[in-house]
Structure 1
Amino acid sequence: MTTNPSAVPPLFTGLCDDAAIFPPGELPLPQAVPAHRTHRTAWYAGLVGPFLCGAGALGALLELVDEPLAIGVIVPAGSTGLAPALETVATEPRLRVAGAEVAADPGMAPAEGARRVVAAFERLLPAGACGAVEIPRGPDLPAALDVLAGTPYRAKFRTGGTAAGAFPTEPELAAFVTGCVERGLPFKCTAGLHHAVRHTDPATGFEHHGFLNVLLATHAALTGGDPRALLAERDGKELASAASELTVPQISAVRAAFTAFGTCSVVEPLDDLIALGLIQAR
């Protein structure tokens, strides 16, 4: 992989969806929107995906929009929340719905909850928008992945949060990645991937997965390997070296599988990639 000083390399293009308004960052919306504009016009703009906005904040977002903005609509309530969310933004031409991320309907088996979201996507998702179904952790996850396999939609998996229990173990995350790869199912992650490399947060003691670990674990799964060792790796130089050795076809395959992750800070992932020599700052 070659690093172009004028662009973000393909392994990282569009990798970071801007979730600045979500915990733990929780940047106020009036600050988050102009900050996103800055990211999208900076030299590293290629790293940055759409602005993620929760369904409950869409009304406030409408009041701040003064030029075109691509958004990802986050709907934690399940399939019944999708129509009201999309209706809120339907009359604002400056907002382009790039995607919708909807939690599998609660109160039922995850497979049935995912099935209901898929049905809602088929009825309501705007043309050109990507749909992702957030699958709850647990033993029923494979059945929910089976529902999404063969559809145009992605799986979404929570990789962290504001409590230690919100972070999946290495075997758990490896099983999700492998499960998606085996089904040819693209996926994205959300929460907890603040840095490139697996680490223990010194302030909270939480064990954070690294997004570079996940990228390389995805490559391992695609090539018949075991992702667990790569998810556990804490040596940034080793991970950076492995990433640099990926070929163009391998990079394309990895990013077709692991499409993006939501992060409340675009700057932290960028700084890590610069420090690891995987992106050259301009």
Structure 2
Amino acid sequence: MKVSLQAFMANLIDYAGLFPPTSLPLDEAIRNYAVYRSEKDAWMLGPFIIPISQLEKLAPYVSLFSRELPLSLSVIGRKSAKEDDWQRGLQEDLALVEAFRQRHGDCVKIGTLEQLLPPIELEQELLEAFATETARHNLNTFCELAAPLDVDWEVNLLKTLDCIAAHNEQHNSQLGFKLRTGGVSAEMFPLPAQVASAIIGCRDRGIAMKFTAGLHHPIRMYRDEVGTRMHGFLNVFTAGMAAYVHHLDVVETTQILADEDPNHFSFTTEALSWRDLVVKASAIEEVREKLLCSYGCCSFDEPRQDLKELGILYTEDDLSEKVFY
């Protein structure tokens, strides 16, 4: 295994089998996750993503896991349009998380909360209370922007990032940012330049990121099922890493995000390359740990299969079957 690829893919894919377009029943999704946890490729797998409304439904399936291979969860908090409802919902969600932990002990690890922010003008007091409460429950928290992808999106994005950054500078309880990179229809996909603005905005403010939706395939490509081009997870994370290491601007980062040629992306033993830009494995590890955390995907099989078809990922079994000349 190439060190650079291992650093890039380690715990990269949070399993979101419950969500569109796969939308599996809970029974099938959680049993899939239990199988994935014991496979050779488990090193690429992150937590199982579960809406807080379905958390208790996982109780009968905890027996599929153990202290050695616990059920690792990222919980999605409930949505609320009004500040009071949002704060009250947060307290109820955190109580549910704590009760589930207490009931199941070391067989369950709930480490992350993904929370859609209310569509209001953010104030530091609100973020401080939010971050303090989630940190008290040992949750790594990512905030998602509630704003349509219209002409005001970037303005709303930067305002939100400024608020998060101002909070993070003053408090030990750090907040991250979650970017939605797609959906089930064309209008749900941000443009490469919009994704670049989010990456550069978080880089400049030292905000950790995770991504969700639309990143089923490694390389950006047109897909009939959504009627538009889908972002590639190699594009997104390579763009983010190169932006951090080489101090790229939005235009340069957009070029990586928009690239549809898989031959421009390569992993050597010690580095990742896009064209002439090189990111060493040590830098990949550092950026992944601090800033580019993971992405949610409704399939764990599809990304792996695509990487194999591109000749990027091989298992030991694959290598034993290959004939080299």
Tell me the TM-score normalised to structure 1 length: 0.90
Shift of 1:76: 4.0
Shift of 1:217: 0.9
Within the candidate set 68, 71, 85, 1:69 is matched to 71
Deviations 1:209-268, CA, capped at 9 Å, x for gaps: 011001111123211222000000001121235835531232124313211000000111
Shift of 1:41: 0.8
Asked if the contact 1:217/1:230 (under 8 Å) is kept, the reply is yes
Q: Distance between the aligned counterparts of 1:89 and 1:153, measured in 2?
A: 18
Asked if the contact 1:189/1:261 (under 8 Å) is kept, the reply is yes
Q: Which amino acid aligns with 1:64?
A: Y
Matched with 1:186 is: 208
| Higher share of residues assigned helix | 2
Within the candidate set 243, 247, 252, 1:224 is matched to 247
Q: Which amino acid aligns with 1:85?
A: D
Q: Which amino acid aligns with 2:272?
A: A
Q: Which moved more, 1:196-205 or 1:89-98?
A: 89-98
CA gap of 1:17–1:63, structure 2 versus 1, over 3 A, is: same
Q: Distance between the aligned counterparts of 1:195 and 1:171, measured in 2?
A: 19
- In our comparison, the structure showing a higher alpha carbon Rg is 2
Identity %: 30
Q: Which amino acid aligns with 1:20?
A: G
Matched with 1:247 is: 280
In the alignment, does 2:176 pair up with 1:176? Answer: no
Name the SS of the counterpart of 2:61 in structure 1.
coil
Q: Distance between the aligned counterparts of 2:211 and 2:259, measured in 1?
A: 19
Within the candidate set 113, 119, 122, 1:100 is matched to 113
Shift of 1:132: 0.6
Matched with 2:160 is: 144
Matched with 1:273 is: 307
Q: Which amino acid aligns with 1:69?
A: L
Matched with 2:15 is: 18
Name the SS of the counterpart of 2:14 in structure 1.
strand
Q: Distance between the aligned counterparts of 2:56 and 2:30, measured in 1?
A: 14
Shift of 1:179: 0.3
Deviations 1:90-126, CA, capped at 9 Å, x for gaps: 23224321110111123x12x34x8635522312445
Q: Distance between the aligned counterparts of 1:42 and 1:182, measured in 2?
A: 38
Within the candidate set 132, 148, 159, 1:122 is matched to 132
Unpaired runs of 5+ residues, structure 1, are: none
Deviations 1:169-227, CA, capped at 9 Å, x for gaps: 11111100000001111100110111110011123322210110011111232112220
Aligned residues: 276
Q: Distance between the aligned counterparts of 2:221 and 2:236, measured in 1?
A: 13
Unpaired runs of 5+ residues, structure 2, are: 81-85, 148-152, 317-325
CA gap of 1:115–1:277, structure 2 versus 1, over 3 A, is: farther
In the alignment, does 2:231 pair up with 1:209? Answer: yes
Shift of 1:127: 4.8
Name the SS of the counterpart of 2:217 in structure 1.
coil
Q: Distance between the aligned counterparts of 1:275 and 1:246, measured in 2?
A: 23
Q: Distance between the aligned counterparts of 1:204 and 1:12, measured in 2?
A: 26
Asked if the contact 1:54/1:74 (under 8 Å) is kept, the reply is yes
Tell me the TM-score normalised to structure 2 length: 0.78
Within the candidate set 35, 39, 42, 1:42 is matched to 39
CA gap of 1:228–1:218, structure 2 versus 1, over 3 A, is: same
